[in-house]
Chains A and B, each alone.
Chain A
């Protein structure tokens, strides 16, 4: 556009720092999720009513064997936090896989075939966007009873819209490129063109969407669990930890500060990594 856009030097340096921060956060979270039983110092479900609401290490009177203190039932907070990370990551990734399959299938078909099919796809996206996600997810879980499986399927069925929008628009761009025309001329089948020519070329965009979706799914799971219609107790979901500790927050604020910061940092890390990937792939922000 103008001379302004050439001076990206300092921006790139800052960007790479923030991407690294994101990558480190996501890396630590992944390790916590995979090796929770090895890392947790205590059993996250073991109650000890004699040691209720012990304060974390930075406050006076902390118990050194419970670094982040204990909750209202005397369960070790650090151990619950580590297991909670496992739940957040598991839900974030599985929900994103479900919604990616649905959204990419719909979006690629609409973008590739065009015409009536595309009209139907656009209509499906519009309808999906008009449905209030939190309310419908709450209603489904409320009616069918809370479980991890149900939560993953429900959120997966509700969050495919961004995948569909991005898959559709990028497929439309790729469809008209020369190498696709060349593949047609070479006599390739539709399926081969879709799987070998189109999908690899829109994959980088979809990876960026996936990071956004993982972050969104983690936040939604926490909100639903907070409202009591997400992950069932006594599982240590961060949202559920905040809900259970809410009654004590005015006297010991750290009980909600700790899981909240964990949630915030994880989601921020995923978003930072996603932003970095976006720049690395040279993909533009196709949504807001």
Chain B
């Protein structure tokens, strides 16, 4: 078990280091950063000033290792636009993104677990087909468009939910539903497949032979085994959702980390952009590791 954890940790660190390098290269793609920061009306002198002030006149390797050295200690640099520490900017907005991500995940699980179980129990019936169709429909739904449609219907016409902002918990319901749509197809299919496999296994036949109730067989025996891959994928999906929430944060004007990144891209604020890429990647890596560990704990065969 310990060896397993150490191996996963080493891979995670290597991935983080690679992403760090890629994030640095990404922000240097535009060629001359000083020109973009100084703006379109800047004179040659202004550009030189900016270059000096931000240390962009030094060799790229020096800049890279300085950034890495600081990032490892938690110092992600300073934002050009907000004139604030990038780490505190991200820390300030992370709760919104995480709240949104968790809301989305909970809604996704509340929908896809029952749907997946129903489809598995009624395999190859109309109900099963309807559930699979729902999964396909969800997969084809453009999230930003669904967000706008919900704003018109639930927000404006019915007046049930606030349209944008982050004032209360109600503000997270619509964006949460939209975000959940991206995870529901995968989670439903996986629950269904896992349940079908579990229901066909020997221990379920034994449980049936013992005369256990249908509910007990389904929920205690089958679901527990089917849940293992679902738990793992749920953690991974949360990682994807945090990364993908940028679109939804923009639609609903939720000022989370995604919104911050979107604003910063528009303002050439590259320390923020590379930091957000790095932070989201690290969170994803941590979540997949957590998923692997949970798997190993839940299913001793995987250790």
Contact = CB atoms under 8 A, between A and B. Distances in A.
Given A123-B14, A138-B265, A140-B29, A131 B142 contact: no
A264 B142 contact: yes
A135 B280 contact: yes
Contacts of A219: 140, 142
B142 A222 contact: yes
Given A139-B273, A268-B136, A130 B285 contact: yes
Contacts, number: 148
Contacts of B142: 219, 222-223, 239, 260, 263-264, 267
Interface in A219-270: 219, 222-223, 226-227, 229, 239, 242, 246, 249-250, 253, 256-257, 260, 263-265, 267-268
Interface string B9-29: 001001100110010001101
Interface core residue of B11, B22, B265, B273 (most chain A CB under 10 Å): B265
A272 B149 contact: no
Contacts of A49: none
A135 B261 contact: yes
B124 A10 contact: yes
Contacts of A136: 26, 277
Nearest to B261: A135
A260 B145 contact: yes
Nearest to B287: A130
A4 B139 contact: no
Interface in A173-221: 215, 219
Given A223-B247, A272-B136, A131 B277 contact: yes
B152 A249 contact: yes
Contacts of B108: none
A7 B124 contact: yes
Given A135-B243, A223-B143, A246-B148, A14 B129 contact: yes
Interface of B: 11, 14-15, 18-19, 22, 26-27, 29-30, 36, 123-124, 129, 133, 136-137, 139-145, 148-149, 151-152, 156, 186, 189-190, 193, 197, 200, 233, 239, 242-244, 246-247, 250, 258, 261-262, 265-266, 268, 270, 273, 276-277, 280-281, 284-285, 288
12 contacts: A11-B129, A132-B277, A138-B261, A139-B277, A143-B27, A143-B29, A215-B139, A219-B140, A264-B140, A264-B142, A265-B140, A272-B136
